[in-house]
Amino acid sequence: MARTGTPKTLSNVVFVDGARTPFAKAGSLYSETRADDLVVKVMRELLRRNPQVPAERIDDVAIAAATQTGDQGMNIGRSASLLAGIPNSVPGYSIDRWCAGAMTAVTTLSGAIMSGAYELAIAGGVEHMTHHPMGEGVDPNPRYLAERIVSQDALLMGNTAENLHDRYPHITKERADAFAVGSQEKTAKAYANGLLQPDLVPVAVRSAENGWGLVTVDEVPRAGTSMEGLASLRTPFRPHGRVTAGNSSALTDGATAAILASESLADELGLSKKMRMVGFAFAGVEPEFMGVGPVPSTEKALAKAGLSISDIDLFEVNEAFAVQVLAFLDHFGIADDDPRVNPMGGAIAVGHPLASSGIRLMNNLARDFEMNPKAQFGITTMCIGLGMGGTVIWENTSSDSDSGATA
């Protein structure tokens, strides 16, 4: 019997828009605010900012959380979607790949868009580390340790960072501290130049003690951070170690979200196209050396895309720990202070609310592209607990893109 119709071809995926709440220190500004309300706030704001997006045409909503209980449970993808006023007809689901939750929400939905199953979707992530401290409710199988599947260090992220210092002794504490100072300085400059504020969604908060307030900027940055100040900090994961609160990301609360679409639908609806997805990859490494994960995931993503590291003009690398970023840079022969890397600072300055951070990296890269219209390709990459890395390659959609440009 003759077939009718024509086979579908792969669709390009574009990053239409992204936003996030300001990130707050765990135990601070969002202590009496629900996690789901944080991500609902961002989703509502995205739809307000993009009135051309017909909510009824959203194919799916995927929201990530590393701890999926309490106010981050009840299938937060579906429950937050309903709370945000998205029509009942739009489905939703929750997703978890620990720190790379939001990144995985983006890649999973993008895969569906590429295949033609979807045209429009919302990805997001939230982590309320006040309500859900890292490791809350976790019950590691005793076989992990008894059968030496992983070392005990693999279950403590700070220990994995100390292990990286051991593996790469040329990455000294002084180098890590210097990188951390640079992150703080770049973030302060980005705030002074008004570059970060457009992506932030103000959040009204209530405190039983202090009444109502409005959170408009990240709470975590420490302007004026110095090498001398960092040198005096204790090393909580190991006596006389090299990892401190100053060269690590802070425990934070926050949420992110992004609108993704097929390029053809974006053109049809007149949506913005901040960047185009080129490809992505995830990879595994020894769990006790978790921080090196972005190296193989980036190599894998580049190979699949037919690119090399020299083709990449901009890098947004999650700063879970300074040593982890430095290991990545050393592997690819990139200088610690290369201006293409985290031009507006990173998680050491603004914080790392686990499952939400992947989209923060994408928001930053979209801004990097805007400031560097001749840059052609950029990557967002991050390490992931229990020994993984994730990398997404993006292309600048500016009409005058030129692969020979740098930041």
- Select which of 99, 128, 131, 165 is catalytic: 99
Instruction: Give the structural domain span for 323.
Output: 150-198+277-395
Same domain, 305 and 374: yes
Strands (E) across 192-331 are located at 203-207, 211-215, 252-262, 275-284, 314-317
- 27 with 128, same domain? yes
Average pLDDT (356-373) is 98
Q: Is the pLDDT of residue 278 over 50?
A: yes
Q: Is 341 helix (H, G, I), strand (E, B) or coil?
A: strand
Would residue 246 count as lying in a domain? Answer: no
Same-domain pairing of 281 and 362: yes
pLDDT at residue 316, rounded to an integer: 99
pLDDT at 5 over 70: no
DSSP-derived 3-state class of residue 176: helix
Q: What backbone phi and psi angles, to 5 degrees, belong to 53?
A: -80, 115
Residue 365: give its domain's CATH number. Answer: 3.40.47.10
Active-site residue flag, 383: yes
In a domain, 208, yes or no: no
Regarding whether 299 and 179 lie in a shared domain, the answer is yes
> Lowest mean pLDDT: which of 58-62, 207-211, 382-386?
207-211
Q: Are the CB atoms for 18 and 256 separated by under 8 Å?
A: yes
The 3-state DSSP class for residue 310 equals helix
Confidence of residue 279 (pLDDT cuts 50, 70, 90): very high
Residues with Cβ within 8 Å of residue 378, at least 6 apart in sequence: 275, 312, 313, 314, 315, 316, 365, 368, 369, 393, 394, 396
Same domain, 19 and 159: no
Same domain membership, residue 261 and residue 290: no
> For the residues 277-293, what does the mean pLDDT come to?
97
Q: Is residue 152's pLDDT more than 60?
A: yes
Q: Evaluate if residue 406 carries a pLDDT over 60.
A: no
Task: Say yes or no to pLDDT of 266 above 80.
Answer: yes
Tell me whether residue 291 is in a domain.
yes
Q: What average pLDDT score do residues 270-282 get?
A: 98
* Same domain membership, residue 338 and residue 323: yes
Share of the chain above pLDDT 90, in %: 89
Of the candidates 353, 259, 298, 199, which has an alpha carbon nearest to the alpha carbon of residue 58? 259
pLDDT of 76: 98
131 is catalytic: no
Q: How confident is the model at residue 407 (pLDDT cuts 50, 70, 90)?
A: very low
In a domain, 402, yes or no: no
Q: Percent of the chain, pLDDT > 70?
A: 96
| pLDDT at site 155 | 86
Residues 258 and 365 reside in one and the same domain: no
Please give the residue that has the higher pLDDT: either 337 or 4. 337
User: Residue 137's pLDDT is what?
Assistant: 87
Report yes or no on 244 lying in a domain: no
Q: What mean pLDDT do residues 42-60 have?
A: 98
> Do 18 and 158 sit in the same domain of this protein?
no
pLDDT bin (cut points 50, 70, 90) of residue 3 is low
Q: Which of 213, 240, 275 is the last residue of a domain?
A: 275
Residue 209 is assigned to a structural domain of this protein: no
Which phi and psi (to 5°) does residue 378 adopt? -145, 160
Predicted confidence (pLDDT) at residue 341 exceeds the cutoff of 90: yes
**What is the count of structural domains for the chain?**
2
Confidence of residue 51 (pLDDT cuts 50, 70, 90): very high
Cβ atoms of residues 252 and 352 within 8 Å: yes
CA-nearest of 208, 360, 255, 213 to 36 is 255
- Cα 372–Cα 377–Cα 381 angle in degrees, nearest 5: 105
Exactly one of 128, 132, 165, 352 is catalytic; which is it?
352
Assess if residue 229 is contained within a domain: no
Residues 35 and 161 in one domain: no
Query: In terms of domains, do 262 and 350 share one?
Result: no
Q: Tell whether 117 is covered by a domain.
A: yes
All residues at 6 or more sequence positions from 53 whose CB lies less than 8 Å from its CB, including other chains: 16, 47, 120, 259, 269, 271
**What does the pLDDT look like over 101-139, one tens digit per residue?**
999 999 999 999 999 999 999 999 999 999 999 888 889
> Is 170 assigned a catalytic role?
no
Mean of pLDDT over the chain: 95
Determine which one of 131, 132, 165, 383 is catalytic.
383
**What mean pLDDT do residues 260-285 have?**
98
What is the pLDDT averaged over residues 336-364? 98
| pLDDT given at position 400 | 43
Q: Do 282 and 270 share a domain, yes or no?
A: no
Q: In the prediction, which pLDDT does 9 show?
A: 75
Domain boundary pick from 275, 307, 330: 275
Q: What pLDDT is recorded for position 403? A: 42
How does pLDDT run across 183-197, given as a tens digit for each residue? Answer: 999 999 999 999 999
Mean pLDDT to the nearest integer, 64-79: 97
The whole-model pTM stands at 0.96
Q: Is the pLDDT of residue 1 over 70?
A: no
